[in-house]
Chains A and B, each alone.
Chain A
Amino acid sequence: MSASLDELKHLLDNQDEIMDAWMHRLEDEGNEWLEHMSIAQLRQKSQVFLQEISELILTGNVDYKVEDRPVLEAQLKGFTTDAAHFGMGATAFYPYVTSLKYILIHKLIEQLSSAPDQLPAAFSDMYKVLTRPYEYFISSYIAMRERIIYSQSRAIAELSTPVIQIWNDVVAMPLIGEIDTSRAKEIMENLLNAILETKATYVLLDITGVPIVDTGVAESLIKTVEAARLLGAQCVLTGIRPEVAQTLVMLGVDLGSIVTKADFRNGLAYILEMMETSSSRAFVSKTNQSS
């Protein structure tokens, strides 16, 4: 056991004193944690943290892993959840630990004034013990944020391509927001699966909520319509705004193979008319057959 560790141990005999100084410093600095909890709450949380850190120093376990310390790990996970919940940044933990470092450095300097040659070793030990929790916090914070972002993007993707069955044999897909390559793919897959599920013959594809319709978007829409036709469903593209119509003609995009209507109402009217004619024809054919 090195001499510096001995000094650190002496230092920790006075945990309460360190805690007081630490909390005081956090308050002076206006630490971000104090915006979300009282000093008493933070002190309670920090108590466990300081105890764990002290224990690591006292046992001389400088090269530990956070994963091997269940209490410390649980504590840090709590900090991570809080930080993510309060909307604090990934750096939220840094000033908190740095404050403790300051306190300890000052105490060490005071204590080792008679033997300054031991200072570097003591600093390095303390630094090692305090760095691990910080690293752990950062990585688990990033992992948590990534999980949140992933689930949000999934939710957005699902919300943004809803398929509604509005009539027997008719489904509608209102598209909202910009359409990029990955969304175009998702739109196509969702629509085709919905056609299969609902056995729909007619599809209303509404692009009122799509801000920009350029060549790429038009091409993906044409592909979607063609794929739906291959499955046996007929698409009507609705919600073509005047400026969209102008842009498409200016860009020379050929939507001639697709039935388009100005708004959803007209599209639905068109489909109902088609259904009526085809069902009356089917009726005629049945009566012809039976007669």
Chain B
Amino acid sequence: MQNQVPILQMGDVLIVTIKPDLTDDEAVKLKDDILHEIKKNNIYGLILDISVVDLIDSYMGRILSEMSDMSRLMGASTVITGMSPYVAISMVEFGLNFRSIQTALTVEKGMEWLNISRTMGVSHG
């Protein structure tokens, strides 16, 4: 299949690198793929890496929060990683703040956070 966004699996965590020029069709396809992966492989966490994205407009913002909300409904927590300073500045200037989504500096730190939140879940449950 052409232009497919790769979804990497590490243990029970999915890692997806979002590309800057994601089209509507690709986004729909990607959401579908991620949700199926979560169901099929008993996924605990989802890392959306946006280090190559140089602008997050309302469209991209909506896609990211939709992905996060849908994954949460299926029991997977989402971490957005690798946002660059200028993207962050323009986002707060536009009033987008992703308050409900967890963020981390790097994929590694995102993994760390997922591990910590998993223990919390274990200890609470």
Binding site for B on A (CB under 8 A): 188-189, 192-193, 195-196, 199-201, 223, 226-233, 257, 278, 281-282, 284-286, 288-289
Contact = CB atoms under 8 A, between A and B. Distances in A.
Nearest to B114: A285
Given A201-B109, A257-B99, A285-B116, A196 B104 contact: no
Contacts of A278: 116
Interface string B86-125: 0111011100011100011110011010011011101100
Looking at chain B's contact residues, is the secondary structure mostly helix, strand, loop, or mixed? helix
A232 B99 contact: no
B14 interface: no
Given A189-B85, A232-B81, A196 B91 contact: no
Contacts, number: 74
Interface in B17-46: none
Interface of B: 80-81, 83-85, 87-89, 91-93, 97-99, 103-106, 109-110, 112, 115-116, 118-120, 122-123
B98 A230 contact: yes
A230 B115 contact: no
Contacts of B119: 281-282, 284-285, 288
A281 B116 contact: yes
Contacts of B115: 281-282, 285-286, 289
A276 to B, nearest CB: 12
Contacts of B80: 230
